[in-house]
Each structure stands twice: as C-alpha cells, then as structure tokens.
Structure 1
C-alpha cells in the first residue's frame, strides 16, 4: 500500500492536498524513519480510520516495528500533553504552572527510537493539536541537537497535509452517511 491509497480518497476540489501528499512522500529532507514516522504519528493524532489504515500500511514498508510503536506513542503522549500544557499556557493563573503535572510520561525518556526522530514526531503532533507551549519545547530540543529548520519545517508540512487530507476524507464520509 502507498500514499496513493490516501490520495485516491481525496476529491478533485482538494487536488492541492493530493499533490502535496505525493510530493511529501518523496521528500528527501528527512530520512525515511523521520518522514514515515511523522506521517504515521500525524495520522494517529487525527484518527480518521481510512487515512490511519492507509498511512500505517505505507509506513510499515519503511519503519521497523519499534519505530511504528514509537510513532504511535508520540501521538498518544502528545494527545495528553498537548491538552494539559496548552491549558496551562492559555490560563492566566500562573499557580497551575507551579504544581507538578503528576502525569506519566515515561515514553519521553525512552521512546524506543532516536530521540531526534521522536522529537520531530512530537512536534508534528503538537502542531496538529495546537499546543504552542509543546511546539516551543520540542523545537527547542531539536535546535539543541542542531536539527536544521528545513527538517522541522518538513515535519510541520507533513502534519498540515495529513491533517487536511484526514479532514477532507472525514467530511466526504459524512456526506455518504
């Protein structure tokens, strides 16, 4: 299965999204693990079944089982952290930022893949979930490891296009029900 499976689900009015999926799938700014992990984490963060299934199948051709698990873990942990830290960021009461989160986040310390890859995936998911605090934190970690802006931007582009494709597929499915 390839990214073309997702592209086939996209109607003509969203041709730009389809074209962007194709060009991002052949993008070389990220290595294959970084790229396909970003696709997979992004798809799982959004959770539109046909897109998740197609991207997971395409990613399985490029990722080890450990990397697949880590990409899903990035989507899962950011699903929690993005809500929590976005809320702290948006609330005007600074007291909440002084209270320990007391949320388990062990996967951040040992994600099962290269830390830079996991940070890229977490950045993409944080963009999808709209958490500025998490975006800043993950981008800061990537910059500490001298990850070029072009690589971070590519992860963000993948997140944006997978998000758009997922929303289109979901809205078209709604018309069919």
Structure 2
C-alpha cells in the first residue's frame, strides 16, 4: 500500500531538506493545540503555499483527523486570506494613509460565519497571513486571538505550522521544477 498523507509528504522531501522533513513530524505531532487548530492551519497553509503535492498530502492526512466540513472551513480561510492578504498588504505598502479610510468592498462573509469555532478560523487566517507575508493581517488576527484568550503558545504553534508547511511546498516546487 503506497504512503499517503504526512508519511508520503515526508518521504517526498529530498535529503537536503531533512530539517523540513523532521520538523513536519515534530511540529504537526507535538503541538499542545487541538488537532482541529493544528490540522486546519496545515490545510490552509498548504493551499496558501500552492504546491499540489503538499496540498494533496496535507488534506489527505487532515481528512483522517478532521470532519470534512472542518477541512472545507480551512480551505475557505486560505481562499479569503489569499484575497485579503494581497489587498491589505498593498494598502499598507503604498504608505498613503488616505487608503486606510477607503472601504474594501470585498465580500468576506465567511469570516463572520466560518462554519467552525471562530477562534480556530482566526488562527488559520493568521497562519495563512504568515505564509503570504501580510503584516497588517498578522497584527489584526493576532490581536483578535489574544483578545479571545488564545495563548501566545498557540499563536506560536500556528506560526510554526505555517513555516514548515511553506518550507515543504518551496522544496517540492523546486524539486518538481528540476525534474520536469
């Protein structure tokens, strides 16, 4: 039987990415946060990182651990943050305060009704914002999480998930490009 999920993802990483391979197992396997928070963040970050192998294997593993509607909510977090991270990062980088008062006029109703606990969804949005490099969104989601009573350790775990999933995606994208 072929490997699937996290085992397949780790096996796909080349030897030079041993740290990433080991970190995938330790970060996703040792978090003190609930599986829904960890694996939802992994799904959202895999999608944000954009490598098909990483998306396929992380989602396969997540579906063994989470209900399908939770995985769909994590996908929704990746989707809405793909839009928001570009928009809010661009407004920030322009550096003209006049843009801050202009309304986004972009639909983002999923943030208000994500279909899962709002804290989990916020955590996934924070993790995706780390992958996408949007400081404005990172600050906003971290503040919301902290106000909701989420510990810095949980926020830190989400950032660690984002970093190792993004590293796996970068590595495999490079390997796929070199073997194409």
Q: With structure 2 as the length reference, what TM-score do the two structures score? A: 0.96
Rounded to whole Å, the distance in 1 between the matches of 2:77 and 2:69 is 12
Secondary structure at 2:149's aligned position in 1? coil
For residues 120 and 75 of structure 1, what CA distance do their matches in structure 2 show?
Answer: 11
Output one character per residue of 1:122-160: Cα deviation in whole Å (capped at 9) or x when no partner.
000000000000000000010011111010000000000
Matched, 1:147 2:150: yes
Contact 1:36–1:59 (8 Å) recurs in 2? yes
Native 8 Å contact 1:34 1:120 kept in 2: yes
Matches within 5 A, 1:15-30: 15-30=18-33
1:4 alignment counterpart: 7
How far apart are the structure 2 equivalents of 1:131 and 1:50? 24
Q: Distance in 2 between matches of 1:91 and 1:57?
A: 39
Secondary structure (helix, strand or coil) at the match of 1:61 reads helix
TM-score (norm 1): 0.98
Asked whether the equivalents of residues 20 and 161 of structure 1 are also in contact (C-alpha less than 8 Å), the reply is yes
Q: CA RMSD in A?
A: 0.8
Name structure 2 gaps, 5 residues minimum.
none
Matched, 1:77 2:80: yes
| Alpha-carbon distance in structure 2 between the residues aligned to 1:16 and 1:46 | 18
- Aligned pairs, number: 177
1:116 maps to 2:116: no
**How big is the shift at 1:2?**
3.1
Moved over 4 A (4+): none
Structure 1: runs of 5+ lacking an equivalent: none
